[in-house]
Structure 1
């Protein structure tokens, strides 16, 4: 393990010890480089944004696709990178362990795994299996000796199972199984956030912003705030508005909202020597 990877992992853990920070989600190398230059302290991949970048729907990529993407992000920036690793591309704990070990080899500083199955008839793994999967991920990280930070996610509020008591039960069990950070994407009410933060304290909690300001979420106890695929959706939204105007009206007014080429070139000017 290179010193730079070790240093990034140590810095990532330090960020989770106090305060509150935003971890934005780039979807490709260019967006990652820009976010670093804007002063963010860490980045997280977005499975949805990456899939769209490849011309596929969310959850339509393979583990090898994600591993290659993570290597590109880690190589592109000097910041800690957290991997959005879906369900670790495996159902059973042994498969999770093997998949997590492969992710750690990319140089990431953190990795998150979900308890969602991707199956509409049974959208969440059974409780005991979900906990065993987190324990397997923890053991795989410990075997690498690389100090990768493990975030365990409970997806009930995103998959049609918005049961706060069950979400809290799962997050507490994930914490006991070795998760370093806990995350229940989709919770947004003050009472929901406060309940999760209190239940897993003193471990840090990641909150999906859903439009709420940093100050509000920090006051509720959030340690880390992410945006998921929202930055990618914002970028594609601008593209679609301009393209639809051209296709439908034959006019180009929306292009005036684009960032100046000089500004964009400025983000990447010092990367000429990285061309291969």
Structure 2
């Protein structure tokens, strides 16, 4: 499974990976013919009324992966930072997901307090996850959190299967990132940012939607309700809009 998933990461012909937040959204995306579907930690957190990136949705994430395995689609799971700083515990989690047929995981170094996990710790987490036979997409939140050296982190995570730096929107900067690593590069699609064709042109291998589809679904629900009232269309809620409604991490 992971090798078939790996083969979808072709620089210049990027995998478009839509992100689901529950079984229904995953089934709809699978029905659209996508070869693979990912999950979004923000969507999963919001569905269950828990904070995002706070390590609070381990069980819910595994449960979603278990239901998605019934779909005829490869699955990549956003496991935040692995829900632990202990490589052994992360290895156990990834082994559980691999046993469910999950093809890949997304592991981030950003923490709920706005800091980055120490490089050595995240390297060990990546190594523990890779030992379970899934595609490990190493995400660094240097741009998202505005701290740390992006290229230093990308080089340090070179033993992963892919690299993900959310928050990049400048095409030239994305091209330089692609040139800086032999690993397939994942970019988060942003409305108003580079198009899929432009990202393909600079060698990006994977484009994911993150929380976009979940946020768009909320706008769609409000649009339908406002239409009943004869009101104007709402704006697309931002990531910050959603996280502001969720409980604080404990």
TM-score by length of 1: 0.76
Q: Deviations over 1:224-250 (max 9, x none)?
A: 10010100100101212444x38xxx7
The residue that corresponds to 1:237 in the other structure is: 219
SS at match of 2:163: strand
Q: Deviations over 1:49-104 (max 9, x none)?
A: 122222334236421111001111222x1111101110000013223222222222
The residue that corresponds to 1:144 in the other structure is: none
SS at match of 2:69: helix
Are 1:90 and 1:99, in contact at CA under 8 Å, matched by a contact in 2? no
Q: Does the alignment pair 1:13 with 2:6?
A: yes
* Structure 1 residue 174 displacement after superposition: 0.9
- The root-mean-square deviation of aligned C-alpha atoms, in Å, is 2.1
Q: Which has the higher contact order (CA 8 A, sep 6+)?
A: 2
Unaligned runs of 5+ in 1: 1-5, 142-146, 256-276
User: 1:68 aligned to 57, 63, 66, which one?
Assistant: 63
Q: 1:254 to 1:32 in 2, by over 3 A?
A: farther
Unaligned runs of 5+ in 2: 234-250
Are 1:242 and 1:252, in contact at CA under 8 Å, matched by a contact in 2? no
Distance in 2 (alpha carbons) for counterparts of 1:54 and 1:46: 13
The residue that corresponds to 1:154 in the other structure is: 140
SS at match of 2:222: helix
1:61-140 residue pairs with structure 2 within 5 A? 61-75=56-70, 77-120=71-114, 123-139=115-131
Q: Does the alignment pair 1:204 with 2:197?
A: no
Distance in 1 (alpha carbons) for counterparts of 2:118 and 2:6: 30
SS at match of 1:152: strand
Distance in 2 (alpha carbons) for counterparts of 1:91 and 1:119: 14
Distance in 2 (alpha carbons) for counterparts of 1:254 and 1:189: 32
Return 210-219 or 126-135, whichever deviates more: 126-135
The residue that corresponds to 2:201 in the other structure is: 219
1:38-53 residue pairs with structure 2 within 5 A? 38-53=32-47
The residue that corresponds to 1:264 in the other structure is: none
Q: 1:37 to 1:254 in 2, by over 3 A?
A: farther
TM-score by length of 2: 0.84
